[in-house]
Amino acid sequence: MCENCLSILTIIAFAVLVPHKSFTQDVGEWKQHDMSYPAPSAVDPGKVSTQDKVGQSPSDAIILFDGKDLNQWRSMNGGPADWKIENGLLVAEKGSGGGIRTFQNFGDIQLHVEWVTPNPPDGFGQRRGNNGIQIMGKYEVQILDSYESATFPDGQAAAIYSQFPPRVNASRPPGKWQTYDIVFRAPLFDVNGYVKRKAIITVFHNGILVHDHVELKGVHSWMGKIKYEAHPEKLPLVLQREPCTPVKFRSIWIRELNPLPIPKPDTIREISLSHKVLDDYTGTYKMQNGRSLYVMRENNHLIIKLYGSDRLFFASSNVDFFAKDIDFAFRMKLGHDGKAKGMVFRFIDTDVEGIKEN
């Protein structure tokens, strides 16, 4: 962002008597090794670009620019984007104002941008290959030729403009392609416009971590006071145009970061059994997989030591027990006399039977 310019505009188990997907915790967290957690979708990661050849975006990315057209972009007033495409490159020519914005609004994102400044370089400081990526049109990651070129640190390449300099200067020489990989979590505001969660950003410049989960101070500003202004949860991404040397882009893609799955409320009823019943269940169980499980009673619950940890189990029926912190469960097997003679325990997604030894 130029000094004389104003800116434009985040061992698996389940009980036998209850359907497996009902085993979720009721405290807003998934159980350890919870099989009801939705399986992550498969994504082809694509190919990394080289200096000579543009790479391939991930299969779930939204392609903002791939050298073909500006269909994903609009001018700042909503009209057609008027930037030029030359030899498959998007050119931000000299000129004040006249930035472009995405047609689609975004909130929490992963953003990839490839850009290059002129060689030989022209100008100095903030007038040398200046541009900016304004996330939501409000939070700017600076683009600048900062290779062996001095300027104020919070305005150099990869700076969060006017807020935080990068940890290191990872700039390549003029004429070499550079990359930004950005993870951004949008701020949240309450109904009165007060900040509930600040914007958070992580930035890699040419593969080097330069901002690590940084909380932003507010909306970017050239010389004004930096503060938050309440805004919608999603807004367009903006590329600036500055009255400095032109900057070119060749690959821009974005991935929306949707919220993680939220556990369903626990639907398993919990009951209390008498100490007499629980004591009958205590003892050593020889399992078919060769392991021995040691069942003990602690007050109104059973404890089984598993992989070095004492796991607390709660009764959901006279013979069924479940853990609240990990997706383990078991069912007692009773003899004709009503006494415990064995159990069925689920390890990973396999039921393992065991015989009570004492």
Task: Give the residue with greater pLDDT, 224 vs 326.
Answer: 326
169 pLDDT exceeds 80? yes
Mean pLDDT of 245-268: 87
Are 6 and 221 in contact, with CB atoms under 8 Å apart? no
In this structure, the answer to whether residues 93 and 134 fall within a common structural domain is: yes
Sorted by sequence, the CB contacts under 8 Å of residue 192 that are 6+ apart come out as none
Number of domains in the chain: 2
In this structure, the answer to whether residues 129 and 168 fall within a common structural domain is: yes
3 is a domain residue: no
In this structure, the answer to whether residues 67 and 203 fall within a common structural domain is: yes
What b-and-e string marks burial along 256-276, b requiring 16 or more CB atoms within 10 Å of the CB? ebeeeeebeebebeeeebeee
Mean pLDDT of 318-340: 94
Sorted by sequence, the CB contacts under 8 Å of residue 157 that are 6+ apart come out as 142, 143, 144, 145, 146, 166, 169, 170, 171, 178, 205
2 is a domain residue: no
Q: pLDDT class for 36, splitting at 50, 70, 90? A: confident
Distance CA 99, CA 49 (A): 26
For residue 116, CA distances in Å to 39, 145, 208 come to 39, 8, 17
Q: Is the dihedral of CA 200, 204, 210, 212 positive or negative?
A: positive
Task: Please spell the DSSP secondary structure of 65-92, one letter per residue.
Answer: ESSS--TTEEETTSSB---EEETTEEEE
Reported as a single tens digit per residue, the pLDDT across 118-152 is: 998 877 767 777 899 999 999 999 999 999 988 98
Mean pLDDT of 326-338: 94
In this structure, the answer to whether residues 210 and 222 fall within a common structural domain is: yes
CATH number at residue 70: 2.60.120.560
Closest CA to 175 of 106, 112, 118: 118
Which pLDDT does position 37 carry in this prediction? Answer: 85
8 pLDDT exceeds 70? no
Which pLDDT does position 3 carry in this prediction? Answer: 44
Alpha carbons within 13 A on the beta-carbon side of 68: 5
Domain span at residue 83?
40-256
In this structure, the answer to whether residues 34 and 74 fall within a common structural domain is: no
In this structure, the answer to whether residues 73 and 194 fall within a common structural domain is: yes
Which pLDDT does position 15 carry in this prediction? Answer: 31
Instruction: Calculate what percentage of the chain has a pLDDT beyond 90.
Output: 70
170 pLDDT exceeds 50? yes
Which pLDDT does position 26 carry in this prediction? Answer: 38
Which pLDDT does position 1 carry in this prediction? Answer: 53
In this structure, the answer to whether residues 223 and 293 fall within a common structural domain is: no
Least confident of 67-81, 89-103, 265-279: 89-103
Least confident of 22-31, 53-62, 127-136, 280-289: 22-31
pTM of the complete model: 0.78
Boundary-marking domain end, from 226, 256, 286: 256
Least confident of 2-6, 281-285, 312-316: 2-6
Q: pLDDT class for 184, splitting at 50, 70, 90? A: very high
Distance CA 301, CA 296 (A): 9
Per-residue HEC secondary structure of 278-295 comes to HHHHCEEEEECCCCEEEE
Which pLDDT does position 254 carry in this prediction? Answer: 99
Task: Give the residue with greater pLDDT, 150 vs 235.
Answer: 235
Boundary-marking domain end, from 224, 256, 288: 256
Neighbours of 217 (CB within 10 A): 18
Closest CA to 86 of 67, 65, 99: 67
59 pLDDT exceeds 60? yes
In this structure, the answer to whether residues 44 and 27 fall within a common structural domain is: no
Joined together, the tokens standing for residue 119 give: 């060689």
Instruction: Calculate what percentage of the chain has a pLDDT beyond 70.
Output: 91
17 pLDDT exceeds 70? no
Which pLDDT does position 7 carry in this prediction? Answer: 37
200 is a domain residue: yes
In this structure, the answer to whether residues 70 and 189 fall within a common structural domain is: yes
- Classify strands 188-189 and 178-185 as parallel, antiparallel or unpaired: unpaired
Joined together, the tokens standing for residue 32 give: 């350890």
Average pLDDT, the chain: 88
Which pLDDT does position 97 carry in this prediction? Answer: 61
Are 251 and 261 in contact, with CB atoms under 8 Å apart? no
Least confident of 36-50, 82-96, 325-339: 82-96
Closest CA to 321 of 16, 25, 35: 16
Least confident of 90-99, 244-253, 292-301, 330-339: 90-99
4 is a domain residue: no
Dihedral, CA atoms, 358, 274, 24, 323, nearest 10 degrees?
A: -30
6 is a domain residue: no
In this structure, the answer to whether residues 234 and 310 fall within a common structural domain is: no
198 is a domain residue: yes
1 is a domain residue: no
Which pLDDT does position 220 carry in this prediction? Answer: 82
Sorted by sequence, the CB contacts under 8 Å of residue 17 that are 6+ apart come out as 316, 317, 320, 331
Distance CA 307, CA 310 (A): 8
In this structure, the answer to whether residues 267 and 223 fall within a common structural domain is: no
Distance CA 326, CA 348 (A): 11
Which pLDDT does position 303 carry in this prediction? Answer: 96
CATH number at residue 302: 2.40.128
